[in-house]
Structure 1
Amino acid sequence: FLAHGFIVDDREQTLDGYIHIYPTDYFCPVSFDSSKKNFTPNTISIHWYAASWHPVYGKKGRLYRLVRKKSRIAADYILHIPNRIGRKVLGMERYEHLKKKLKKKNKSAGSDKAL
């Protein structure tokens, strides 16, 4: 498709004057990964992707990867709450200065343990 001028950006395109590409909201307005719905006046039909041709273990693997990804995102969000609070309270410049000081202190404390 790229050789024919396809641009990857989910918009309606005509390639070589006769290949018509439609955005996802026309035929696939429901995301498989997140189940988010994007119904628009352009929506013609819904592709209810069930992957019925895949073996069951393949579906479970995809579900497992999706759950694991969402769990990592949630854990990352929770883990970085103190950083976000610090940036809001101190401001970016003071926060970065404090962060450098703490890294330097931790680095020197680590070298003392090595002796």
Structure 2
Amino acid sequence: MSVPKIIHYCWFGGNPKPKLAEKCIKSWKKFCPDYQIIEWNEENFDVSAAPEYVCQAYAAKRWAFVTDYVRLKAMTEMGGIYMDTDVELVKPLTPFLAHDAFAGFETDASVQTGLLACCPGFPLFQEFLQHYDSASFVKPDGTHDVTTNVSVLTSLCREHGLVPNGKFQVVDGFAVYPKEVFCPVDFDTEQLHRTRKTVAIHWFASSWKTEEERRLLEAERARLHYEKVSAARYAFFTKLLGEKTYHKLKALFLKR
């Protein structure tokens, strides 16, 4: 089953769209002229009928977390492509529609959620959606659970066999492309590494986020930078020492 020509995006809260969002939406129309584009907002999505997680996030005006659920709900029911409003197209998406689902790596170790696509009823994304059915946005101590959907999706994909190496692979029908295709901006440094293979650019804008969400973004950048350094260190020392020797030495240091 192929991905239908539908583009979904979310805009909750009623605030005016920034210039970057308008620019990105214009690029969708340019490179996908025969696609249906649907904006999901309070007028066509009943937040009160959604799981507790969504209602709590909406009450807290944490729109980014509301969209984590809405994008999956729309895609699993209708199929199509979801894009954040800071994702700009530079080439058509039509060549990728033959997949059951597709996206790209955000880093070598994590899968992006700013651009996701699937056919209706895609099993892996239905499993992803079910995560929010039992989740609570407000923790027992009253603080918010700001775990990113990138973390949730990446963990789920690894359970299904994803190898966190940044290379093209298909995980239970989900095609995951290298960063250069859909996410050529380095999340840590915000530098653009565009190539001839680049189809979309996620600019990682944070102007519409709350102060807490901006802090979360910086924390996520720090976490991903640590993962990248750790992965590079692991690759260097296992190549130098061999995997068994590396783990023996690591265990020895941890005992101290």
Give the TM-score category using the shorter length: 0.3 to 0.5
- Larger helix fraction of residues: 1
Taking structure 1 as the reference length, the TM-score comes to: 0.45
- Larger strand fraction of residues: 2
Larger CA Rg, structure 1 vs 2 = 1
- RCO higher in 1 or 2 (8 Å CA, sep ≥ 6)? 2
